Chain A
Amino acid sequence: MCSNIVSIGDIEGFGRGVDGWFDLKQAVITFDHALRLPVDHAITIDFVNRDKGLSARVPVELTAESARELIRVIEMALAEGQEQHLTLEPSQEH
């Protein structure tokens, strides 16, 4: 907690924590000292639902390069889905 670089996004989804799947409310992104990687700094992403307690958290720690790659492949998947006219919005036809 040295850099104070924290970004928080409201999100909707599900993640699998220590007690099983739970609905996600926020993604907390930090750029700070790595706790596990053998590098000085890392990107951490905590997928959390604060309404469900401290353990409702799915954490990952990534190198900067990996974080950029993650963004790239997510953007790629979203673009491909859009090209195929698929939607991630709730279906109206169920």
Chain B
Amino acid sequence: MAYTTDQYKGIVAETITIHGHNDDEVHAYMAKPLGDGPFPGLILIPHALGWTDFHKEMIHKFAYNGYVAVCPDIWCRAGHGEPEDVVAKVRSEGGLADDQVVGDVVGVASYIRGLSVSTGKVGLMGSCSGGRHTFLAACRTQGIFDAAVEGWGGNVVQPQERLTGAQPISPFEYTKDLSCPLLGLFGNDDQNPPPADVDVHEQELKKFGKTYEFHRYDGAGHGFMYYHMPLYRQEQAMDGWSKVWEFLGRHLSS
């Protein structure tokens, strides 16, 4: 519904604790609209900057637009400090394990569905490494997510030389198991994922008859929707947001 000035808008937001992979306690940031709902859920997987204010602002944005939105601190097992320091530690220790991230977002989905204001529908979104995690989680789970938004997922098509102990299998290999509709947003000047990898990603989705839509932007590179970074491209970013709202509205409305 388009915003009109007579609407009474409000959100509530706070830090919460959810049970993630291995039933570990994981911090998360949640925001939801005022009122009894019911509201669809949206999980935002943070990217390489860490669990930052940027992601919390995004959570506010989703809540303001009608979603129970939650962003988990997927690095929290490494301890607490400034987000970039936490991420730096995890990076030097081999990075986040794919299994752990998938387990954490499944835990967030369960938390959202347990809320009295939930419609039961839950979407998933992430960009960069979070885009990779989004696609991975949407493939490696069934019946958990109702829609997934992958923003420029680096290493979705992950070559052998980039596989690690924490990331032992390329997400691309799981394409046949994708469990929900997928929206992909990509910049054509991106180096990771480069357009050639996005082509491969798309061909595999077609091969398995998956429901997806990709939007690929000229004049945009990696992270083109990060308004706080030099990579930001206003025109492409605003179009990207319009695609996000339309897609989520279509697949998460009751």
User: Which chain A residues have a beta carbon within 8 Å of chain B's beta carbons?
Assistant: 1-4, 6, 8, 26, 28, 30, 32-33, 35-38, 40-41, 46, 48, 50, 53-55, 57, 59
A59 and B92 CA atoms in complex are apart in Å by 13
Residues of A near B142 (CB, < 8 A) are none
Contact residue among B84, B222, B229 (Cβ-Cβ distance under 8 Å from A59): B84
A36 and B47 CA atoms in complex are apart in Å by 14
Q: Is B223 an interface residue (CB 8 A)?
A: yes
Contact residue among B79, B92, B95, B222 (Cβ-Cβ distance under 8 Å from A46): B92
Contact residue among B80, B85, B129 (Cβ-Cβ distance under 8 Å from A1): B129
A82 and B1 CA atoms in complex are apart in Å by 72
A3 and B128 CA atoms in complex are apart in Å by 10
Residue of B nearest to A27 (CB): B92
B48–A32 CB distance below 8 A = yes
User: Which chain B residues have a beta carbon within 8 Å of chain A's beta carbons?
Assistant: 47-49, 78-82, 84-92, 95-96, 128-129, 132, 154-155, 162, 164, 167, 190-192, 221-223, 229-231
A1 and B101 CA atoms in complex are apart in Å by 14
Residues of A near B80 (CB, < 8 A) are 54
In the complex, the 7 A-B pairs of residues with the closest C-beta atoms, listed nearest first: A2-B154, A54-B81, A38-B230, A54-B85, A28-B92, A1-B48, A40-B191
A4–B88 CB distance below 8 A = no
Taking the nearest CB of chain B, how far is it from the CB of A74, in angstroms?
Answer: 22
Residue of A nearest to B78 (CB): A54
**Contact A35:B49 (CB < 8 A) given known A4-B95, A48-B92, A55-B82:** yes
